[in-house]
Amino acid sequence: MSPDPLRKRLFEMRLIDIHNQYAWLEDEITQKDFIKLFPVVYKKDKAILPDKPIGYDLDRNIFLAVLVAFRQSFN
């Protein structure tokens, strides 16, 4: 798969939805910073699954929601 800006934008929109689902998350981190925690990296024209951010302790359920959003956006 070649890098697709529409799929990347879809992933970012899903990250915004995740950010808005958790009221306490909105108090701790802005939407822009939350999106920056999960950059889309391509290897051989394929999007690589994001890692859990270093230096920011995310709830397990939030990280799983991010992984689901990634799979839905790029598969």
What are 37-71's pLDDT values in tens digits? 999 999 988 999 999 988 888 889 999 999 999 99
Residue 50 corresponds to which tokens in the numbers above? 């994001």
Residue 48 corresponds to which tokens in the numbers above? 């690589």
Strands (E), the chain: 41-43, 46-48
Report the Cα 45 to chain-centroid distance in Å: 18
Share of the chain above pLDDT 90, in %: 69
pLDDT value of position 6:
92
pLDDT value of position 40:
92
List the chain domain ranges.
5-74
10 pLDDT band, cuts 50/70/90, is very high
pLDDT value of position 2:
61
